Chains A and B, each alone.
Chain A
């Protein structure tokens, strides 16, 4: 078993680290990101503006850094929220079986049959837009993915002798579920959460792109992309850069999630 981290994973970790730093420290790193400079207007890359400016004269690179602060925490909240809900329901469904399982699975089917983005658009539209409701809707719509994955993994563990031994020790169901089963399925739960993270990032950016996420003028990858798409020829970087940021972050999340899954899965399983 090799301890070396593959190159693809190293690059992905570096991307995520950069995005995390940008998200955490954007106000200090780029305090004037949203300052407009209408005299400059839109321009291509040049001195002082490595990625050029948008039509309001804002530096695209600074917007990108500031945009991480809106794009990432929302997606993280969706991933964490749906992981929590999905894992609890999935554990209960797999462990208790019977009507608990039926109820949970039919709920998951129902959620799967709804087009997530469309529901988010409708809810955001009815509630007058805004980031908060969009996140709430995505948590509810993403949780079934975790529920299904976790339930399947629990079913595999449920009748192992070590679970039966815990039953015979008269341990509570809660303790068996959280302390005995969950650590053994943590790898799939984590992998699923990372997948949701990537999906949520793309979905929230799409909402912002459609004007239903962050308010106009806020720095956000999806928003920047939308605002500048008419100026594609004047400064292509104002469109390409936020798009690349979304793609790179989502791809990095997938790769790191997959790698973590394998690492956690390997722990405790080598004979």
Chain B
């Protein structure tokens, strides 16, 4: 149905090569996931396949869709796009034209001659939406509904191939599960060929028949989902799987891989993963390892592209058997001392909002304790974090920081504000805007140290967060996302605050980097005996890091208690629903789509 042969994407202006040697086939009705972190080339691969590369990039290599060669024939490609092949985009909030009704946007994709009055309601019903949604504008729909409308529009032309680029990354966990279940049901009913791009290996196992793992612009491993889940023949796949922590048990250490994804050209002469690989030998750094078939006897199969196990690791056969998944450990109980943060009945309604962001939330954090606040978007978890640090002013309720009343920073004395600022610091979600782009890392950290009344030892501070002191001379633009987040952590802990408020600090990072940052935070908690208020939507992260947990929905706390108790035996059905939304890699997940 779909064949790509030796695909290369280059940027002629700079002479850079972004990906090379990518070949794969997808059979009719088959579902294949392309898995990788950012910079792996997974999105570029499908964009090259569809002829939708961003300006300034060009691709080489044969692309055959539905028996027709399209890489040298833009007209054929245009005919196929939106006909034979449909694309479902990532961001449901920019996917639809805000000025046009949903129904008209779906009707745009219908083949000529079809009757929109009959077809649009039929398509809406297929994606589980009522017919009246056709009359609504995108701003009247939730993210999940928008993504369903996007799917209906993609299905309008009755495509034989559906390509989905991270279709649920921007959605809440429970919505993600519903949309994925829907996509899978529709794909099976229509017997469509399905190509899914995702960074989540477990999600890929659940959704697709076969998996292709990419790294630094090359294919690392290919195999059937069930086989790949059981045994990985490439160290990178193992690392990727291990770095995604489980939600059902706490690990003694979160396995993380040092470093970050290199540029394709930086590893043009060796295995892309060699520099981060624990199994690397000299042979890994001599030439690019070929993607080869890993048969039972090691005999190359006649048609290695469809269905076989492939790995680009030179030591694929001699890799030690993957260690059994580590057993869970119990979290050491702590807290009992006077709380460092005590919140009582906090309420906040934003002007013009129809319902409160916080409707009476009480919680406490003991010194050295990590308390997680879990919720989906709109639960009020970020508002809570901002009220604690004084970035928002609560309508009522009290915030006690180390015993001092910090409910209203505008009414506090200068000394009280300074004391509060040195007690509680915050790290933010987006690694790209958390640092001042115009200032060097050194200037940022020196200022933070001075503000907290510490000697200006930037080198020691960078060392504390596991960064090379030479980074001080660089500006944020020259750092990776993980490095930026580490600098932001260094800035926050410069004055050794007793409370660190973390607002989704790892959700924008790649999984392998996410594990590094979580390990760093856990270590800093021990070294600085710092309490943490950890805002997140990710229960797996909560399980690994937190001591206690509060579940928030619509500004109300539904359930709280020790992490182990709440996650092993949740009282509230909503907590159970959140737990079920975590991809577990089994073929049963995401379950039946509810209408």
Contact = CB atoms under 8 A, between A and B. Distances in A.
Interface in A37-91: none
Contacts of B322: none
A contact face: mostly helix, strand, loop, or mixed: helix
A164 B391 contact: yes
Interface string A111-153: 0000000000000000000000000000000000000000000
A184 B433 contact: no
B438 to A, nearest CB: 4
Given A169-B451, A170-B418, A161 B428 contact: yes
Interface in B414-436: 417-418, 421-422, 424-426, 428-430, 432-436
Given A268-B438, A268-B475, A269-B437, A171 B451 contact: yes
B476 interface: yes
Given A161-B434, A270-B477, A168 B425 contact: yes
Interface in B455-478: 475-477
B488 A165 contact: yes
Contact of A168 (B389, B439, B475, B476): B389
A268 B421 contact: no
A240 interface: no
B491 interface: yes
Given A161-B428, A161-B433, A271-B477, A167 B438 contact: no
A171 B444 CA distance: 12
A183 B439 contact: yes
B492 interface: yes
B559 interface: no
Contacts of B426: 164-165, 168
B448 to A, nearest CB: 6
A160 interface: yes
A96 interface: no
Given A164-B428, A184-B438, A268-B438, A171 B477 contact: no
B476 A165 contact: no
A267 B434 CA distance: 17
B428 A170 contact: no
A170 B437 CA distance: 20
Interface string B511-544: 0000000000000000000000000000000000
Given A171-B447, A183-B439, A271-B477, A165 B434 contact: yes
12 contacts: A161-B428, A164-B391, A165-B488, A165-B492, A168-B425, A169-B491, A170-B417, A170-B418, A171-B447, A184-B436, A186-B438, A268-B437
B38 to A, nearest CB: 11
Contacts of A170: 417-418, 421-422, 451
Nearest to A165: B491
A174 interface: no
B452 interface: yes
Interface in A150-187: 160-162, 164-171, 179-180, 183-184, 186
Given A161-B428, A268-B477, A269-B477, A167 B433 contact: no
Interface residues of B, number: 32
Contacts, number: 67
Nearest to B389: A168
Contacts of B475: 268
A164 to B, nearest CB: 6
Contacts of A184: 436-438
Contacts of A186: 438
Interface string A227-271: 000000000000000000000000000000000000000011111
Contacts of A160: 433
A162 B436 contact: yes
Contacts of B434: 161-162, 165
Given A161-B428, A268-B476, A169 B452 contact: yes
Given A183-B436, A271-B477, 18 more contacts: A2-B13, A160-B433, A161-B430, A161-B488, A162-B437, A166-B436, A168-B425, A168-B492, A169-B451, A169-B491, A171-B447, A180-B439, A183-B438, A183-B439, A268-B437, A268-B438, A269-B477, A270-B477
Contacts of B421: 168-170
B391 A167 contact: yes
Contacts of B422: 170
B433 A162 contact: yes
A170 B435 CA distance: 16
B446 to A, nearest CB: 12
Nearest to A2: B13
A184 B476 CA distance: 13
Contacts of B13: 2
Nearest to A176: B436
Contacts of A167: 391
B488 to A, nearest CB: 7
A270 B421 CA distance: 32
A3 to B, nearest CB: 12
B73 to A, nearest CB: 32
B475 to A, nearest CB: 5
Contacts of A166: 436
B361 to A, nearest CB: 21
Contacts of A164: 391, 426, 428
B439 A165 contact: no
A171 B390 CA distance: 14
B435 to A, nearest CB: 6
B233 to A, nearest CB: 33
Closest A-B pairs by Cβ, 3 of them: A183-B438, A161-B428, A268-B437
A26 B207 CA distance: 77
Nearest to B501: A168
B249 to A, nearest CB: 33
Nearest to B503: A161
Contacts of B477: 268-271
Contacts of A269: 437, 477
